[in-house]
């Protein structure tokens, strides 16, 4: 059972009111999602202590943060527009928080390695591309040895290709450094790839929680530069990414997975996994399936209005594969 970040906050600004209370597990990535102007950034800033008008209480793993200065909370805040210090080069930006929080040189070195920052160290922030700037901003936050990462739409403004490049870095940062994160976004793709759970906000009110997007979890059994070989039950598959043998990785199903009661045989899918229906609700169409030892709850495609009965063999096909490392405690309960 992970520790909790508990808050009950109110922020009042002209024409806007935020009232939010929740208990957030301090593990993995918690996405905070909602439409523009719903209060996502305000809530994140209030948690960091950057909203002077915020009232209420914040408790971080038993520590009272309600009146604590931002500098003492130990958050790593990744701003939407990075806010790198323009008078310092990349190495000095990384060192800024590391020195003040007395982070070890090993940590800074690990951050530089994990985010591929070495070639950028002597550069000035002005000379960095959009993607490089975001990587340095994430690195600066991580190098300060934070107790929690608060990320405010860190990929906003980047094109799709850059986002796909950067999402694994974020996943690695959280998994490798064991730092829980709250990740503000309104991108379904980012939630699907990164989030272990999602907290929704609308008009300054938290509306509901959802768990991680459907995914299967595999263990790395082989690693090559830029690729890892994942073992999912009896199957192994290569996916892009940098990892180490023994790590747990999640393969989000995304929006375009296929379910079938017939063996698709040699299809063009990147991965096909067999399973069996463990439970089915004809009313909602929701099926509980045991797929290679993992329990998945998926909506059965309502083509003819019927759902398969309990015990029916099923096949789950994924046309494309992307995967990210996860912390061990975020893995499936069956493990």
Residue 54: strand pairing partners: 11
| Sites for other proteins among residues 52-71 (CB under 8 A) | 69-71
Helix ranges restricted to H, the chain: 40-48, 70-73, 90-100, 105-114, 130-143, 160-177, 188-194
CB of 139 to other proteins, least distance (A): 12
Member of 3, 66, 101, 164 binding other proteins (CB under 8 A): 101
Does the protein bind other proteins through residue 147 (CB under 8 A)?
Answer: no
Member of 60, 65, 77, 183 binding other proteins (CB under 8 A): 77
Torsion of CA 91, 153, 25, 208, to 10 degrees: 180
Q: Are 180 and 148 in contact, with CB atoms under 8 Å apart?
A: yes
Considering beta carbons, is residue 137 or 296 the nearer one to other proteins?
A: 137
CB of 102 to other proteins, least distance (A): 9
Q: State how far the Cα of 108 lies from the Cα of 20, in Å rounded to an integer.
A: 35
Q: What are phi and psi of 299, to 5 degrees?
A: -80, 125
| Span near other proteins by CB under 8 A; candidates 44-52, 158-166, 224-232, 313-321 | 44-52
| Span near other proteins by CB under 8 A; candidates 26-34, 76-84, 246-254, 284-292 | 76-84
Full DSSP string of 199-213: EEEETTEEEEEEEPP
Residue with tokens 């959009």: 130
The count of residues interacting with other proteins (CB under 8 A) is: 26
Member of 75, 166, 216, 220 binding other proteins (CB under 8 A): 75
**HSE-CB of 137 using CA atoms within 13 angstroms:** 25
Considering beta carbons, is residue 16 or 85 the nearer one to other proteins?
A: 85
Angle (nearest 5°) at CA 161 between 160 and 167: 85
Does the protein bind other proteins through residue 81 (CB under 8 A)?
Answer: yes
| Span near other proteins by CB under 8 A; candidates 31-39, 85-93, 111-119, 281-289 | 85-93
Q: Could you tell me the end-to-end alpha-carbon distance of the chain, in angstroms, rounded to an integer?
A: 15
Member of 39, 76, 204, 252 binding other proteins (CB under 8 A): 76
- CB-CB neighbours of 166 under 10 Å: 21
User: Mask 177-216, x = binds other proteins (CB under 8 A)?
Assistant: ----------------------------------------
Does the protein bind other proteins through residue 154 (CB under 8 A)?
Answer: no
User: Mask 19-38, x = binds other proteins (CB under 8 A)?
Assistant: --------------------
| Span near other proteins by CB under 8 A; candidates 12-20, 58-66, 79-87, 161-169 | 79-87
Residue 40 is encoded by which pair of tokens? 């996502």
| Sites for other proteins among residues 235-274 (CB under 8 A) | none
Please give the helix or strand (H or E) that residue 230 lies within, else none.
strand 227-232
CA-nearest of 50, 73, 57, 65 to 9 is: 57
Considering beta carbons, is residue 91 or 164 the nearer one to other proteins?
A: 91
Residue 240 is encoded by which pair of tokens? 């892009």
| Span near other proteins by CB under 8 A; candidates 137-145, 178-186, 248-256, 261-269 | 137-145
Does the protein bind other proteins through residue 125 (CB under 8 A)?
Answer: no
CB of 288 to other proteins, least distance (A): 43
Q: Are 226 and 241 in contact, with CB atoms under 8 Å apart?
A: yes
Q: What are phi and psi of 197, to 5 degrees?
A: -165, 160
CB of 9 to other proteins, least distance (A): 17
CA-nearest of 169, 97, 85, 176 to 131 is: 169
Interface ranges with other proteins (CB under 8 A): 48-50, 69-77, 79, 81, 83, 85-87, 96-97, 100-101, 126, 140-141, 144
């Amino acid at each position: 059972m992970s520790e909790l970040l508990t808050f009950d906050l109110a922020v009042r600004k002209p024409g806007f009111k935020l009232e939010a209370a929740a208990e957030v597990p301090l593990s993995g990535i918690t996405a905070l999602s909602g439409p523009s102007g719903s209060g996502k950034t305000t809530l994140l800033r209030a948690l960091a202590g950057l909203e002077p008008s915020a009232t209420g209480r914040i408790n971080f793993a038993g520590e009272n943060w309600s009146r604590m200065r931002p500098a003492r909370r130990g958050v790593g805040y990744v701003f939407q527009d990075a806010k790198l210090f323009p008078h310092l080069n990349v190495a000095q930006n990384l060192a800024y928080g590391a020195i003040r929080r007395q982070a070890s040189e090993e940590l800074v070195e690990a951050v530089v390695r994990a985010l591929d920052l070495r070639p950028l160290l002597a550069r000035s922030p002005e000379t960095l591309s959009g993607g490089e700037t975001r990587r340095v901003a994430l690195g600066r936050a991580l190098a300060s040895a934070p107790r929690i990462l608060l990320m405010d739409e860190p990929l906003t403004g980047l094109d799709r290709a850059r986002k796909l490049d950067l999402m694994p870095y974020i996943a690695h940062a959280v998994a490798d450094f064991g730092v829980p994160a709250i990740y503000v976004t309104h991108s379904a793709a980012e939630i699907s790839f990164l989030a272990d759970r999602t907290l929704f906000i609308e008009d300054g009110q938290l509306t509901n929680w959802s768990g991680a997007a459907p995914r299967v979890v595999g263990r790395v059994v082989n690693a090559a530069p830029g690729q890892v070989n994942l073992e999912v039950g009896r199957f192994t598959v290569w996916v892009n990414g940098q990892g180490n043998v023994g790590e747990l990785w999640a393969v989000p199903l995304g929006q375009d997975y296929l379910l079938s009661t017939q063996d698709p045989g040699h299809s063009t899918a990147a991965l096909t996994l067999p399973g069996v229906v463990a439970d089915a609700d004809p009313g909602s169409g929701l099926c509980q399936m045991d797929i290679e030892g993992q329990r998945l709850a998926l909506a059965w495609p309502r083509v003819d209005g019927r759902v398969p009965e309990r015990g029916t063999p099923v096949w789950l096909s994924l046309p494309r594969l992307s995967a990210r490392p996860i912390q061990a405690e975020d893995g499936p309960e069956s493990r």
